[in-house]
Amino acid sequence: MASSSEAATANSEGHAAEGAERRDFLKMVTLATAAVGVCAVAWPFIDSMNPAKDTIAAGSPIDVDLSQVAPGQQIVVLWREKPILLVNRPAEALKTLQSSAMINRLRDPDSRVLQQPPYADNWHRSVKPEWAVLVGICTHLGCLPQYFPNPSANTPVADWPGGYLCPCHGSKYDLAGRVWQGVPAPFNLPVPPYNFLDARTVRIGENPPNVTYSLNDIVQI
Amino acid sequence: MAELGLQENEFKNPVVHWIDARLPVFTAMHKEYRQFPTPKNFNYFWNFGALATVNLAIMIITGIFLAMNYNPSTAGAFDSVERIMRDVNWGWMIRYLHVVGASLFFVTVYVHIFRGLYYGSYKKPREMIWMLGVVLLLLLMATAFMGYVLPWGQMSFWGATVITNLFGAIPVVGHGIVTWLWGGFAVANPTLNRFFSLHYLLPFIIVGFLVLHIMALHTVGSNNPLGIDVKGPQDTLPFHPYYTVKDSVGVCVYLIVFAILVFFIPHQPLLMDPNNSIQANPLQTPSDIVPEWYFLPFYAILRSVPNKLGGVVLLFGSIFVLFFLPWLDTSPVRSCRFRPIMRWLWVLFVIDVFVLGYVGANRPVGIFILLGRIATVWYYIHMLIFLPLVGKLERPLPLPESISKSVLGGGALPSAAAARPMEKA
Amino acid sequence: MRTLALAAAALGLALSALPAAAQETPPLPRVFWSFEGPFGTIDQAAAQRGYQVYKQVCSACHSMTQFHFRDLAGIGYTPEQIAAIAASVQVPGPPNAQGQSSPVPGKPADAFPSPFPTQAAAEAAFNGAVPPDQSLMANAFEGGPTYIYAILNGFRNPPPGITVPPGRYYNIYFPGNLIAMPPPLHDGAVTYADGTPATVPQMAHDVATFLYFVANPHADQRKRIGVHVVLFLVFVTGLTYALKRKVWSDVEH
């Protein structure tokens, strides 16, 4: 009888060990499934902090009527909470943009750094030379650069060719938004996606057909 | 290692060991939730405290995310809730989780309370746990009341008006108190703003009292379905893994109920009064002002007295009387399993609460007036007369010798054990 | 003991589901909706017809300020259709130099406009009985879309002995029977784009479907996700219960 009870004990020990293994596997599977469930529940909460549908809708493209903007005049509109500068550049201003005196002052005259869409990758950084469309956020620390379009011997600074002067720390840009050398701002002003619907209406926030570009693509806002 | 005041501990992991020596959280968790000797004979009614805690966590998390988009002004509240439902990613789900969670919170808490009543969990040495529990119930009711005002629907506004007006029944200072609560001449923007602030605050006060509630529990140990004391380690199991896994089963079943309500029946007929889909209008009273289901029994008690102050006194009295339960009940035996009369009175009490709820859901006309009064009187008779009297007059059944013996034997022991003196509660 | 408590609970729940008090209105008819039940979905064709009814009939008096044109994507309209629909509706424009706004064509981001510029103007036009906003109408009354359907079909000549004051109309389903809305629908009031005959019950059913969508735009998604969630939870419950049995297998209980 001793041998059968020994056998019985050995049997039950074997069962216990097997049971423990089975319990560990079951425990692992249960915990893993529960972990998957927790992650699946966590995602909606995290996603709820992403922009809501109405916020995204409010950031839809806006149409701007340029018919009232005279040569030399700038208007500012808000798109996606950012100031967009629209300038009617007269012929003298366009000549200055191409002059070697101007180009020699600039940090990135050929717009090598990606701060603009492919259709603004030119000397006037825009679709039409006479219309500048720029994001009015200084690439230094985010202030709104002030518009001083007229060349002047002393205003706002000595020997001013025309362009933008940022009031916060003195960064300077030309009328195509290209940044000067020797100023704190590192990059040219960004160009937003935009498309001319007709001669006098521009849609900010939408590219011309067959172009993909968004402000997320640029190096720095 | 006891030098420098460092706590000695036996954790092998060096990071855990270092932390625990300076802040013994791991030792505490090990003692309170791993080793903690728990009676081995719990039934599934003992899950409901853990379920209520899980529910509290869900309410706090969903509430914080709702608060990211909620606008607590009378001009913007209703629209901000609609924005959450329509435009915020998953906003509809977070909102329904919060609404369903509020109702299920009361389900778990009420079952938890009825369990305590049946098994005598309020009796010595657990009076402190019980009284902290009553405080938690009051805090929960205040939180739920204020939360319901926030969507600023018709029922939000009129329910707030009716309930805040109750305080006007207090003699002399009543009107001043109501004006102070309102922050104005009626429920309006100042009221909504402060309710939002307090609704955000109170759940964290609840967490604090919950910690005290559990500390008091861990000081004396849990009750059990037999109501008899733990005699030794043979009567208990370590909390982990036995009750962690059993509570997990309960949580899973609970989440299924939660999910069915959130995803399939968030609206009528159970939840979300239709009137609250209409923006608050101080110039138009809905034909039926009804609180959410979990307040209906108290609403019925309030309306059963034709006198305003009397109704308010009986309403708050019905909760305050719970504080005194450990002393109102005179029985030497805890669990109704061994109390042949009180177990039926408990059933009648549960039915009485449901009858009160039914009365509260209906207009106070016709049969409902009489029914409400009978049910209110019964409630107070149960608390103030039955509990003291029946405890003294009843002859309890013989108690088992111990939990483990009972589990092995399957019930009360034969006559030899009946001769043992009755366990004192 | 536990069964008794459960029986008490069931009794209480059953009692509280009974109607609150006797109404003079007949019980609502039994109407079938594509979206009823745990697996029902909103019939997009019906909802689109309902939108047509809403636009041509209801929007003359009712606002729907929580609903935006872009939300129409939920009943199957394409972005181009939505842009065209929005452009066909006049919404308040930005203020001019004098601070006045004049109507401009709508854009998808715009909300459905109210027919009246201010609450005061609406009250003046309707003698105080302002038509309620429709954004949540399908949730705001017992019976939901069935209630809307019943009201739209419920206009009758008043029975003998009942005088209907001017500005009110007799409706058998409206509590109190005197509703301030004149019967808005008559057969053929709208010509459906898909050719469905536009009878009053058909239009009432379609517009109620549309209003249900407006009040519950996520209903279909919610039920779909719900099926997955409940199935997952049932699976996890099974696993957890098996684990519980294993853990407790060495304990008498």
H or E, element range at B364: none
Spatial neighbors of A163 by CB under 8 A, at least 6 apart, are A148, A149, A172, A173, A174, A175
* 3-class SS shares of chain A: helix, strand, coil, % to 5: 30, 20, 50
Q: How many angstroms away from the CA of B263 is the closest CA of chain A?
A: 14
Helix axes B127-149, B308-323, angle to 10 degrees: 140
The answer to whether residue C136 is domain-embedded is yes
CB C240 within 8 A of CB C192: no
Please report the residues numbered 33 through 52 in chain A whose beta carbons come closer than 8 angstroms to any beta carbon of chain C: 33-34, 37, 40
- Residues, chain C: 253
DSSP letter string, C189-209: SS--TT-----HHHHHHHHHH
Q: Which of B83-97, B234-248, B266-280, C34-48 has the lowest mean pLDDT?
A: B266-280
Q: Return the bridge partners of C170, or none.
A: C178
CB of A63 closer than 8 Å to CB of A201: yes
**In the structure encoding, which two tokens stand for residue B29, read together?**
């968790």
pLDDT at C22: 33
Residues of B with CB under 8 A from a CB of A: 61, 65, 68-69, 83, 86-91, 93-94
Distance in Å, alpha carbon of A179 to nearest chain B alpha carbon: 39
Cis omega (within 30 of 0) for bond into B203: no
Q: Is C234 on the interface with A (CB under 8 A)?
A: no
Q: How many domains does chain C have?
A: 1
Comparing CA positions, the residue from A142, A147, A130 lying closest to residue A190 is: A142
Chain C: residue nearest A56 by CA?
C109
Q: What is the mean pLDDT of chain A?
A: 89
Close Cβ partners of B243 (under 8 Å, ≥ 6 residues apart): B38, B42, B237
Q: Reading across the β-sheet that carries A194-198, which strands appear in turn? A: A62-65, A201-204, A194-198
pLDDT of the residue at B14: 95
Q: Could you tell me the pLDDT band of residue B44, with boundaries at 50, 70 and 90? A: very high
The whole-model pTM stands at: 0.87
Which pairing describes strands C169-170 and C101-105: parallel, antiparallel, or unpaired?
Answer: unpaired
Q: Determine whether the interchain pair C12/B357 forms a contact, defined as Cβ–Cβ distance below 8 Å.
A: yes
Contact with chain B for residue A81, Cβ under 8 A:
no
Q: Which residue has the higher pLDDT, A90 or B288?
A: A90
Can you give the pLDDT at residue B269? 74
Burial label, B350 (beta-carbon count in 10 A; 0-12, 13-18, 19+): buried
Q: Which residues of A191-214 are buried (b: 16+ CB within 10 A; e: fewer)?
A: bbbbbeeeeeebbbbbbeeeeebe
Handedness of CA B120, B125, B129, B132 (dihedral sign): positive
pLDDT computed for residue B399 by the predictor: 93
**Banded pLDDT at A11 (limits 50, 70, 90):** low
DSSP string, B106-154: HHHHHHHHHHHHHHTTTSTT-HHHHHHHHHHHHHHHHHHHHHHHTT-BH
**What is the C-alpha to C-alpha distance for residues B14 and B24, in angstroms, rounded to an integer?**
14
Q: How far apart are CA B258 and CA C192, in angstroms?
A: 42
Residues 6+ apart with CB under 8 A from B42: B222, B224, B225, B243, B246
Query: Cβ separation of C236 and A60 shorter than 8 Å?
Result: no
The CATH number of whichever domain residue C132 belongs to comes to 1.10.760.10
Residue C23, in any domain of the structure: no
Neighbours of chain C (3+ CB pairs under 8 A): A, B
B42-273 carries CATH number 1.20.810.10? yes
* Residue whose entry in the numeric block shows the structure tokens 């929580």: C66
Q: What pLDDT, on a 0 to 100 scale, did the predictor assign at position B415?
A: 44
| Dihedral, CA of residue B134, residue B140, residue B143 and residue B147, to nearest 10 | -150
Rounded CA-CA distance A214/A194 in Å is 10
User: How far apart (Å, rounded) are the C-alpha atoms in residues C110 and C107?
Assistant: 5
Check if A23 contacts C (Cβ < 8 Å). yes
pLDDT at A158: 87
CB-based contact B110:B49 (threshold 8 Å)? no
Within chain A, where are the H helices?
2-47, 53-58, 91-98, 100-103
Amino acid B54: pLDDT: 98
The CATH number of domain A53-217 is 3.40.50.150? no
Dump pLDDT digits (tens) for A106-143: 999 999 999 999 999 999 999 999 999 999 999 999 99
Residue C21 lies in a domain: no
Across-strand partners of C111? C68
Would you kindly state where each structural domain of chain B is located, as residue ranges? 1-33, 42-273, 290-392, 395-425
Of all residues in chain A, the one with the smallest CA distance to C231 is: A37
Q: From residue B151, how far is each of A54, B82, C64 by CA, in Å?
A: 20, 9, 18
- Euclidean distance between CA atoms A84 and A79, whole angstroms: 7
CA distance B51 to B47: 6
Residues of B with catalytic function: 218, 222, 246-247, 292
Contact yes or no for B267/B276 (Cβ under 8 A): no
Domain contains C1: no
- In 3D space, the residue among B62, B266, B286 whose CA is nearest the CA of residue B153 turns out to be B286
> Best interface-test mutation with A: which of B87, B94, B98, B256 has the largest number of A CBs within 10 A?
B87
Of C4, C12, C229, the CB nearest to B358: C12
pLDDT at A63 (0 to 100): 87
Asked if residue C6 is part of any domain, the answer here is no
Check B87 against A54: CB less than 8 A apart.
yes
What domain range is C55 assigned to? 32-67+111-241
Residues of C whose CB is below 8 A from A64: none
What is the distance between the alpha carbons of residues B267 and B103, in angstroms, rounded to a whole number? 12
**Residue C179 CB contacts under 8 Å (≥ 6 apart), including other chains:** C151, C168, C169, C170, C171
Residues with Cβ within 8 Å of residue B278, at least 6 apart in sequence: B153, B154, C132, C136, C140
Please give the pLDDT value at position B346: 97
Cα separation of C190 and C50, whole Å?
10
Question: Is-contact B108 B55, C-beta < 8 A?
Answer: yes
Q: Are A57 and C68 within 8 A, CB to CB? A: yes
Q: What is the least distance, in Å, from the CA of B87 to any CA of chain A?
A: 5
CATH class held by domain B290-392: mainly alpha
Give a yes or no: residue C194 inside a domain: yes
Please indicate if any CB of chain A lies within 8 Å of the CB of C247. yes
For residues C141 and B87, give the distance between their C-alpha atoms in angstroms, rounded to a whole number.
24
What angle do helix axes C44-56 and C200-215 make, rounded to 10 degrees? 100
Q: Which two tokens stand for residue B329?
A: 């009940």
Q: How far is the C-alpha of B134 from the C-alpha of B152, rounded, in Å?
A: 29
Nearest to C16 among B264, B275, B361 (CB): B361
> Is residue C213 within a helix (H) or strand (E), and if so which, with residue range?
helix C200-215
Q: Is the peptide bond before B396 cis (omega within 30 degrees of 0)?
A: no
Neighbours of chain B (3+ CB pairs under 8 A): A, C
Tell me whether the CATH fold assigned to B42-273 matches the one assigned to B290-392. no
Report pLDDT for C23: 41
pLDDT attached to residue B303: 94
Asked whether the beta carbons of B382 and B367 are under 8 A apart, the reply is no
Minimum distance, in Å, between the CA of residue A59 and any CA atom of chain B: 14
The most confident of A91-105, B242-256, B394-408, C115-129, by mean pLDDT? B242-256
C 181-220 residues with CB below 8 A of B? 215, 217-218
Residue C216 sits at the vertex; the CA angle it makes with C212 and C217, to the nearest 5 degrees, is 105
Q: Say what the pLDDT of residue C98 is.
A: 83
pLDDT at C90: 92
Q: Which C residues 5-34 touch B at CB under 8 Å?
A: 5, 8-9, 11-13, 15-17, 20-21
Which residues neighbour B177 within 8 Å (Cβ) at sequence distance 6 or greater? Answer: B167, B168, B170
Average pLDDT, chain B: 93
Residue B416 has pLDDT above 70, yes or no: no
Which of B65, B69, B86 shows the shortest C-beta gap to A45? Answer: B65
Q: How far apart are CA C131 and CA B421, in angstroms?
A: 76
Look-up: residue for tokens 């720390």?
Answer: A169
**Domain boundaries along the sequence of chain A:** 1-48, 53-217
| Region at A22 (left for phi over 0; alpha for psi -120 to 50; beta for the rest) | alpha
Among the listed residues B46, B55, B49, the one whose alpha carbon sits nearest the alpha carbon of residue B255:
B55
The two three-digit tokens of residue C149, written as one number = 């359907």
C44 to B125, B272, C41, C68, C230: CA distances (angstroms): 63, 26, 9, 17, 26
Whether B361 contacts B297, CB under 8 Å: no
Helix or strand (DSSP H, E) at A131: strand A131-135
Tell me how close the Cα of B272 comes to any Cα of chain C, in angstroms: 9
pLDDT class of B143 with cuts at 50, 70, 90:
very high
Peptide bond between residue B125 and the one before it cis (omega within 30 degrees of 0): yes
- Note down pLDDT in tens along chain C; length 253 residues: 565 555 555 554 544 444 443 347 899 999 999 999 999 999 999 999 999 999 999 999 999 999 999 999 999 999 999 999 999 999 988 777 788 888 889 999 999 999 988 888 888 888 888 899 999 999 999 999 999 999 999 999 999 998 999 999 999 999 999 999 999 999 999 999 989 999 999 999 999 999 999 999 999 999 999 999 999 999 999 999 999 999 999 888 7
Q: What's residue B287's pLDDT? A: 86
Q: How far is A21 from chain B (nearest CA, A)?
A: 16
Which of B68, B86, B90 minimises the CB distance to A47? B90
Q: Looking at A48-77, list the stretches that DSSP marks H as alpha helix, in order from N- to C-terminal side.
A: 53-58
Please give the pLDDT value at position C3.
58
Angle, helix B91-119 to helix A2-47, in steps of 10 degrees: 140
C250 touches chain B (CB under 8 A): no
Tens of pLDDT along B315-362? 999 999 999 999 999 999 999 999 999 999 999 999 999 999 999 999
With CA atoms as reference, report the closest residue to C155 among C195, C186, C121. Answer: C186
